[in-house]
Amino acid sequence: MRSRPPPVPARRPPAVQAGVVTALLVAGLWLQEITDQVAFGGSLDRYGIEPRDTQTFWHVLSAPFLHGGFDHLLANTVPVAVLAFMSALRGLWRFALATLMIVGLGGALVWLFGRGGSVHLGASELVFGYLAYLLGAGWWERSASAIIAAAVALLLYGGALWGVLPSNPEISWESHLFGFVAGVVAAAVLHRKRRPGRAEERVYPQ
């Protein structure tokens, strides 16, 4: 008598997977800030990006997850949650790669071109990166779901695009701008469709 193969576990719906990843991201941001304020008195903010300081270049990896207090974190929590969830719906692997590109490329550009004598930190780099990623995915993918996601993101947070321009000296518009640039690059890399190449001409011997 043949034994039956073990049942294949049901795969979680994409919305559930995206929700779990988003919840972990937001929980991580809050856990970090609570730890920083309670145990370190806010001193972890020194791991923000200090432009052109070669000894602290690696801070590009930590800066988007740090905040200058709970008010700063509260301002970023909802936009991060909404845009991260929408981005994760495009696929978890793509979301992970897009996040790495936004953090790495966006942070590196801030380190290169940001104002000297300042420390840049905060998840607004992710906010602008995810916004650009969704807009870029809609442009390059051209599927109905991608276009709808881009339209919803633009409707909800399109007004924030003014944040890429210099305004308040206490706000890192550089993180906004270069996070957005990195999000566009991530969308191009992950969603741009390759054009079919021309068929190679076949040459037959005479």
The domain that holds 94 is classified in CATH as 1.20.1540.10
| Domain around 167 | 14-191
Say if 204 falls within a structural domain: no
pTM of the entire structure? 0.89
Is residue 76 within 8 A of residue 122, CB to CB? The reply is yes
Say if 7 falls within a structural domain: no
Question: Could you report the per-residue pLDDT of 15-26, keeping only the tens digit for each?
Answer: 999 999 999 999
Say if 5 falls within a structural domain: no
Say if 124 falls within a structural domain: yes
Count of domains for the chain: 1
CB-neighbour burial class of residue 57 (10 A; exposed 0-12, middle 13-18, buried 19+): middle
Say if 8 falls within a structural domain: no
Say if 1 falls within a structural domain: no
Distances in whole angstroms, Cα of residue 119 to Cα of each of 19, 42, 127 = 31, 13, 18
Is residue 113 within 8 A of residue 174, CB to CB? The reply is yes
- Looking at per-residue confidence, does 114 or 192 come out higher? 114
What is the token pair recorded at 79?
Answer: 């936009």
What are the phi and psi torsion angles at 121 (to 5°)? -155, 165
Confidence of residue 201 (pLDDT cuts 50, 70, 90): very low
Q: What is the pLDDT of residue 197?
A: 55
Say if 59 falls within a structural domain: yes
Average pLDDT over residues 109-119: 94
Whether 123 shows a pLDDT value over 70: the answer reads yes
